[in-house]
Amino acid sequence: MTQRPDSSQPRDPSASEMPEIDPLERLSRGLTQWERELLQEPRSPSRPRTVSDLDRITHVLQAARSVTGTLDLNELLVRVVDAVIQVAEADRGFLMLMHEDGKLRFEVARNKDESTLPSDEFQISWGIAEEAAHRRETVWVPDAVGSSLFQDRKSVRELSLRTVVALPILSAGRVLGVLYIDSHSVTHEFTPDTITLLEGFGALCSVALENARMHEALKDSKSRLEIENQNLRRALKEDFRYGLLVGRSPKMLRVIELLEKVIPTQVSVLVQGETGTGKELIARAIHMNGPRRERNFVAVNCGALPENLLESELFGYKKGSFTGASEDRIGLFEAADGGTIFLDEVGEMPASLQVKLLRVLQDGHIRRVGDTISRKVDVRLVTATNRDLKSEVEGGRFRQDLFFRINVVPIEVPPLRERGEDVLLLAQHFLDQFAKQQQRKLRGLTPEARELLLRHPWPGNVRELENAMARAVALADEGASLEPSLFGLGAPVTRRWDGQHTLRETLDAVEADTIREALRQCDQNVSRAARALGVSRQHLHNRMNSHGIRRSRVMNEPAA
């Protein structure tokens, strides 16, 4: 405990045991001038107290029962501050925890009526708090406002401070945090006995805090293991699907070349492409071949969950923060700490969550739903969307500052219809994989099947091809080749010249058949069919009108 005795007054026996502090030493510790003077101000004589020793012991026992009666970290912090205010009969109490960067940060601020202080009343002497943490001993500053040195100081005058105590919370020599209490009432000036009680109570608080942190760490570890198990099971099921990266088309080679450049880095990547092109597999390739491969890869579809569930899924939640929150649970950002988090369909994220995601990307801290504690996370971010995010930004539906954060390196995954003969390479890959899975011996693709696969528009992209190959392998006869009828794709959507029609007539027939088949594959959705065919929605409407194609009749018309 640090306090300078008054040489002009009779020495207090308790004060004679307190060590002198060299003022020059304080100057080197970063205190402001008035704080250095305050620490050296002579202490006023102790005033008679109305609380008996038995009352004090009773208060300490009650406080001890309170702080040892919970393992919930948030609840514990509040109980600690309320208890120390009661034990010391202080007016206000603050608890600051030491973070990984070596800085103290507010966690709890309370009044003597057990209410939470508003943030605009967080006025304390940071220098005194930091001094207590640095010296690892209690700093006690008595009767600040009664001194002629400080009565003109704005902060002292506004708070009417009589006494300030900064008590470090220590565990095995480490500073866990600082308890800071003050009083502006003459009748509540602290005494050496009070300080002794507070130091004993602080030792108890350090044990309770460590226990609560270990309990929380165990629960977090359990949650992480559950998420890791889910990811491992999913990865085992999807491992074979890395055949997506098989390709010789110029567009796919450009994607692979770009991947090789970004994989060793830590930059954020935005993967863009149509549904079914394999955006998540690109994200997995970035993770599995990068420096974070030994840690978790965590994926979440932002468009599959409502806003409130998505927030708790991403950031976790505290017990009781909402109906059904029966226990603390970590979020996916914490589960991905040290690894990669993949946010699929990020363009579907609500505006309120876009703000919170931006904050995480800016300062690297998350806060669970219903929690008051910020937690540092270190993740690599990969996002994906099938939307045009630039247009979404221009339309005010997506934050521009967030777009800049996630769009450091954009990767455009081409649709399958633009990958040429990659279709056959992928088809052979899936044929080999499914034949091995189903223990089938098949001879491969017939020429007609190859033609069908090359000419099909593939509105569902690689996912559609994968399903078609799984169906064909399951239905094929043992030892036979795969015929066009096995794929469930209908007849080819193009025609050979029959020698009786002009080129214009043949091309018109091919175009009409292609449009009808694209509409069938896209469940009559004109916008999806237009994207699959690589044209604008208006252009497709014009061509449909030219050929007399009606969306409502397509499903009933026979395939060409």
pLDDT value at position 10?
44
d(CA 105, CA 122): 11
What number is the average pLDDT over the span 170-195? Answer: 76
pLDDT value at position 235?
57
Q: What is the pLDDT of residues 494-542, one digit of tens each?
A: 456 666 667 777 777 788 888 888 888 887 888 888 888 888 888 888 8
Q: Which tokens sit at 41?
A: 């101000």
Q: Is 548 left (phi over 0), alpha (psi -120 to 50) or beta?
A: left
d(CA 336, CA 319): 21
Residue closest to 383 by CA, chosen among 347, 336, 342: 342
d(CA 287, CA 341): 9
Residue closest to 338 by CA, chosen among 407, 286, 375, 291: 291
d(CA 284, CA 297): 7
Alpha-carbon distance values, 506 to 449, 497, 511 (Å): 22, 7, 9
One-letter identity of residue 453: L
User: How many other β-carbons are positioned within 10 Å of the β-carbon of residue 256?
Assistant: 12
**Could you tell me how far CA 64 lies from the centroid of its own chain?**
36
Q: Which tokens sit at 357?
A: 């995601």
Q: What is the pLDDT of residues 441-473, one digit of tens each?
A: 998 999 889 988 988 888 889 989 999 999 999
d(CA 524, CA 517): 10
d(CA 511, CA 544): 10
d(CA 365, CA 449): 53
- The residue written with tokens 């208006």 in the block is 538
- Give the helix/strand (H/E) hosting 424: helix 422-437
Q: What is the pLDDT of residues 19-50, one digit of tens each?
A: 444 443 443 344 455 445 545 555 444 444 44
One-letter identity of residue 520: R
Q: Is 272 left (phi over 0), alpha (psi -120 to 50) or beta?
A: beta
- The residue written with tokens 């205190």 in the block is 31
Q: Angle at Cα 85 formed by Cα 81 and Cα 90, nearest 5°?
A: 140
Highest mean pLDDT among 189-193, 213-217, 356-360: 356-360
Collapsing DSSP to helix, strand or coil, 318 comes out as coil
User: How many other β-carbons are positioned within 10 Å of the β-carbon of residue 393?
Assistant: 17
Instruction: Round to the nearest angstrom and report the end-to-end CA distance of the chain.
Output: 92
Q: What DSSP character marks residue 164?
A: E
Buried/exposed code over 63-91 (b: 16+ C-beta within 10 A; e: otherwise): bbebbeebbbbbbbbbbbbbbbbbbbbbb
Among the listed ranges 30-39, 330-339, 356-365, 468-477, which one has the minimum average pLDDT value?
Answer: 30-39
pLDDT value at position 336?
92
> Does residue 553 register a pLDDT over 70?
no
Which alpha helices (H) appear in 239-366, and where do they start and end? Answer: 250-262, 279-288, 307-315, 332-335, 351-363
d(CA 154, CA 149): 12
pLDDT value at position 373?
81
> Does residue 5 register a pLDDT over 90?
no
The 3-class SS string of 468-530 reads HHHHHHHHCCCCCEECHHHHCCCCCCCCCCCCCCCHHHHHHHHHHHHHHHHHHHCCCCHHHHH
pLDDT value at position 139?
82
Neighbouring C-alpha atoms within 13 Å toward the C-beta of 349: 29
DSSP class per residue in 216-240 = HHHHHHHHHHHHHHHHHHHHHHHGG
Whether the full predicted model's pTM is greater than 0.85, yes or no, is no
For CA atoms 113, 114, 117, 122, the dihedral sign is: positive
Q: Per-residue confidence at 189, pLDDT binned at 50, 70, 90? A: low
pLDDT value at position 240?
38
Which alpha helices (H) appear in 29-153, and where do they start and end? Answer: 33-40, 53-67, 73-88, 126-135
The β-bridge relationship of strands 365-367 and 374-376 is: antiparallel
In order of their start, the domains of the chain are: 15-214 (3.30.450.40), 247-412 (3.40.50.300), 418-489 (1.10.8.60), 493-560 (1.10.10.60)
Q: Which tokens sit at 479?
A: 């030892």
Q: Is 444 left (phi over 0), alpha (psi -120 to 50) or beta?
A: left
Collapsing DSSP to helix, strand or coil, 344 comes out as strand
Cβ-contact 183, 93 below 8 angstroms: no
Buried/exposed code over 328-354 (b: 16+ C-beta within 10 A; e: otherwise): bbbbbbbbbbebbbbbbbbbbbeeebb
Cβ-contact 560, 493 below 8 angstroms: yes
What number is the average pLDDT over the span 373-381? Answer: 91
Q: What is the pLDDT of residues 467-502, one digit of tens each?
A: 999 999 999 999 899 999 899 886 554 456 666 667
d(CA 126, CA 139): 12
Q: What is the pLDDT of residues 418-442, one digit of tens each?
A: 888 899 999 998 999 899 998 989 9
Cβ-contact 211, 71 below 8 angstroms: yes
- The residue written with tokens 């099947």 in the block is 449
Q: Per-residue confidence at 143, pLDDT binned at 50, 70, 90? A: low
Q: Per-residue confidence at 543, pLDDT binned at 50, 70, 90? A: confident
> Does residue 185 register a pLDDT over 70?
no
> Does residue 383 register a pLDDT over 70?
yes
d(CA 292, CA 337): 10
pLDDT value at position 342?
96
User: How many other β-carbons are positioned within 10 Å of the β-carbon of residue 148?
Assistant: 7
6 vs 53 pLDDT, higher one: 53
> Does residue 199 register a pLDDT over 90?
no
d(CA 534, CA 546): 18
Q: Which tokens sit at 176?
A: 């866990």
Highest mean pLDDT among 209-213, 219-223, 295-299, 517-521: 295-299
Burial of 57 (0-12, 13-18, 19+ CB in 10 A): exposed
What number is the average pLDDT over the span 307-315? Answer: 90
